[in-house]
């Protein structure tokens, strides 16, 4: 049968559109039923705070007293959180009252564009690249719970693209990637592959200029230009100690790339009979990228739980996808039928994933935990607190982030940990704002405590809980009152 290039191109475009559209539909379904997830809520709060503080010169965006509001946000987001998402959310806050969904859509669209550019630069068939990269693992761990992985990957891909073109602008992109999410800092040395002293110097200068504002911020606020990076590393190591490596978590990271690598090996063997790969400059870039990603992943693995071991494999996953698909693309570049089959299988997997997402998200319990649902668990908990005589009062909760998102006077349960690396920072900021930190700590010990099951940190980490009396228990919600529990109004202006 004679090939029709025009029809093949149209079919290629149609399959690409389907591969790109299905994850976008899935993102909307997840957001519609589940609402914004914890980390994205925190970043949206940071963006909103930055907008009010810097642009509007008004930090009173929450009914709580500003010093404590900053304490909460600083505790949860800084210095552990990378800063690049903050100005993005701040900008979105100008145009949208709900910033999480626009952020997710924009980051996804930008990641697809970056993926397309990387495919072109590496001479990888974009249909196969979309089929390999846009799968349930990448969709969930890049865009849904946190969204910073996807933001970081955009600049990592653009950095690889620039590096493949031997451009010094790779330094700009790798610098931005490390500001989007700290693990990407491991790719800063990749500019050495430019193999030109002048280009390397320019690229290194670009990296430094990208990082300079954040280094200055750290120095001014914390007294150490790399404090945020040190705190992030410390948090990874001390949060879980040493944990067993979960094989299934690692399998989730490598499964898709391994499947495409296996397909490439079979096709190669059928055609050539033996494996004899010539590695050019682009191949060396991908191998160096994969080697550094593996080092970074190996550092994270022994310090985290199953979910985090899956999640922090995103860089290694990306490197393996580019390697395997680069290999596979060489064997399928001129085989339209093979490319179609690969794309159709990927579309089928995405359809099953979308159906599974819809079924599991469209449940009463999931909707109950949706912060955008008027009858959500957070409103129910606050209603029960009011029934106990603490209406419009400040309270401690393990779900402080989604409750802050709903304009409640919720406070982190960790702020008084004497061993916490963040406590001196909170004290510094509160004193700098003219707030008495010691008085704040004393007041904090008298706040009611709301524990919401499966919505935040484990209750064993909530200080003061053991010395408090259980006053309400619905199974999903527990309310405790410490000795001498006191109502501190949300609009109190002095500690």
The pLDDT of residue 33 is 93
135 DSSP assignment: S
276: region left, alpha or beta (phi > 0 left; psi from -120 to 50 alpha): beta
Asked whether residue 431 carries a pLDDT value surpassing 50, the answer given is no
Quickly state the pLDDT bin for 285 (edges 50, 70, 90).
very high
- Reported residue count of the chain is 495
225-278: per-residue pLDDT in tens?
Answer: 887 777 676 656 555 445 678 888 899 999 999 988 888 887 777 776 666 667
pLDDT band at 440 (very low <50, low <70, confident <90, very high): very low
Mean pLDDT computed over 191-220: 92
Question: Worst-scoring range by mean pLDDT, 178-182, 255-259, 455-459, 467-471?
Answer: 455-459
pLDDT tens for 138-176 read 988 999 878 899 999 999 999 999 999 999 999 999 999
Point out the least confidently predicted range of 129-138, 284-293, 421-430: 421-430
Res. 368 pLDDT band, cuts 50 70 90: very high
Q: At what angle do helices 423-432 and 437-444 cross, to 10 degrees?
A: 120
Residue 418 has pLDDT above 50, yes or no: no
- Cross-strand pairs, 469: 481
For the cut 60, the answer to whether the pLDDT of residue 124 exceeds it is: yes
Instruction: Give Cα separations from 193 to 187, 189, 203 (angstroms).
Output: 11, 8, 11
Arithmetic mean of pLDDT, 177-206:
94
Q: Tell me which of 493 and 407 has the higher pLDDT.
A: 407
- Residue 51 per-residue DSSP state: I
480 strand-pairing partners: 449, 470
Across the range 433-449, mean pLDDT stands at: 61
Which is more confidently placed, 246 or 203?
203
pTM value is 0.87
Q: What whole-number percentage of the chain has pLDDT above 90?
A: 45
pLDDT for residue 157: 97
- Tens digit of pLDDT for each residue in 98-113? 899 999 999 999 999 9
Rounded distance between C-alpha atoms, residue 80 and residue 260, angstroms: 35
Please give the Cα distance from 244 to 247 (Å, whole number).
Answer: 9
Compute the average pLDDT of residues 116-134: 91
DSSP at 393 = B
d(CA 381, CA 397): 10
Note the pLDDT of residue 401. Answer: 86
Confidence tier at 73 by pLDDT (50, 70, 90): very low
Q: What is the pLDDT averaged over residues 19-32?
A: 94
Query: Mind listing the pLDDT tens digit for each residue in 471-483?
Result: 999 989 999 999 8
Long-range Cβ contact pairs of 267-276 (< 8 A, separation 24 or more): 267/328, 267/331, 267/332, 267/338, 268/327, 268/331, 271/331
Confidence at residue 452, expressed as pLDDT on a 0 to 100 scale: 94
Question: Does 462 have pLDDT greater than 90?
Answer: no
Check residue 27 and give its pLDDT. 93
Q: Rounded to whole angstroms, what are the CA distances from 318 to 115, 157, 291, 341? A: 10, 9, 12, 22
Query: 3-state secondary structure string, 95-122?
Result: HCCCCHHHHHHHHHHHHHHHHHHHHHHC
Average pLDDT value for the chain? 82
* Lowest pLDDT segment from 3-12, 155-164, 391-400: 3-12
> What is the pLDDT confidence band of residue 352, given thresholds at 50, 70 and 90?
very high
pLDDT above 50 (res 422): no
């Amino acid at each position: 049968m004679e090939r029709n290039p025009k029809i093949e191109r149209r079919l290629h475009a149609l399959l690409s559109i389907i591969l790109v559209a299905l994850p976008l539909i899935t993102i909307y379904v997840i957001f519609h039923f589940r609402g914004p997830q914890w980390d994205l809520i925190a970043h949206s709060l940071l963006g909103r705070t930055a907008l009010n503080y810097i642009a509007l010169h008004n930090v009173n965006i929450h009914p709580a007293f500003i010093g404590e509001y900053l304490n909460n946000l600083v505790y949860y987001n800084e210095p552990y959180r990378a800063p690049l998402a903050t100005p993005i959310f701040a900008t979105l806050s100008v145009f949208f009252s709900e910033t999480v969904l626009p952020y997710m859509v924009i980051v996804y669209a930008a990641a697809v564009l970056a993926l397309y550019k990387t495919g072109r630069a590496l001479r990888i068939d974009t249909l196969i690249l979309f089929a390999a990269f846009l799968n349930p693992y990448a969709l969930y761990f890049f865009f849904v719970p946190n969204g910073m992985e996807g933001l970081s990957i955009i600049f990592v891909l653009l950095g690889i693209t620039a590096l493949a073109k031997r451009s010094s602008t790779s330094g700009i992109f790798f610098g931005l990637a490390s500001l989007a999410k700290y693990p990407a800092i491991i790719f800063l040395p990749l500019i050495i592959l430019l193999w030109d002293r002048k280009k390397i110097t320019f690229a290194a200068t670009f990296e430094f200029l990208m990082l300079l504002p954040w280094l200055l911020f750290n120095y001014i606020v914390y007294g150490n230009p790399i404090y945020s990076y040190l705190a992030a590393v410390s948090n990874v190591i001390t949060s879980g100690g040493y944990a067993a490596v979960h094989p299934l978590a690692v399998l989730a990271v490598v499964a898709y790339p391994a499947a495409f690598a296996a397909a490439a090996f079979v096709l190669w063997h059928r055609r050539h009979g033996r494996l004899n790969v010539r590695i050019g400059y682009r191949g060396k870039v991908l191998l160096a990228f994969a080697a550094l990603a593996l080092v970074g992943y190996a550092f994270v693995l022994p310090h985290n739980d199953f979910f985090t071991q899956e999640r922090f494999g995103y860089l290694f996953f990306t490197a393996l996808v580019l390697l395997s698909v680069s290999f596979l693309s060489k064997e399928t570049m001129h085989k339209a039928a093979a490319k179609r089959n690969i794309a159709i299988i990927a579309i089928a997997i995405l359809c099953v994933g979308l159906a599974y997402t819809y079924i599991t998200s469209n449940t009463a319990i999931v909707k109950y935990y949706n912060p955008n649902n008027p009858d959500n668990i957070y409103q129910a908990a606050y209603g029960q607190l009011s029934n106990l005589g603490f209406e419009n009062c400040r309270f401690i909760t393990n779900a402080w982030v989604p409750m802050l998102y709903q304009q409640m006077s919720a406070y982190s349960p960790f702020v008084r940990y004497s061993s916490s690396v963040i406590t001196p920072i909170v004290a510094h900021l509160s004193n700098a704002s003219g707030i008495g930190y010691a008085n704040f700590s004393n007041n904090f010990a008298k706040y009611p405590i709301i524990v919401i099951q499966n919505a935040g940190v484990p209750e064993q980490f909530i200080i003061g809980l053991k010395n408090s009396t259980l006053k309400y228990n619905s199974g999903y919600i527990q309310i405790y009152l410490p000795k001498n529990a006191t109502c501190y109004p949300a609009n109190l202006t002095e500690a």
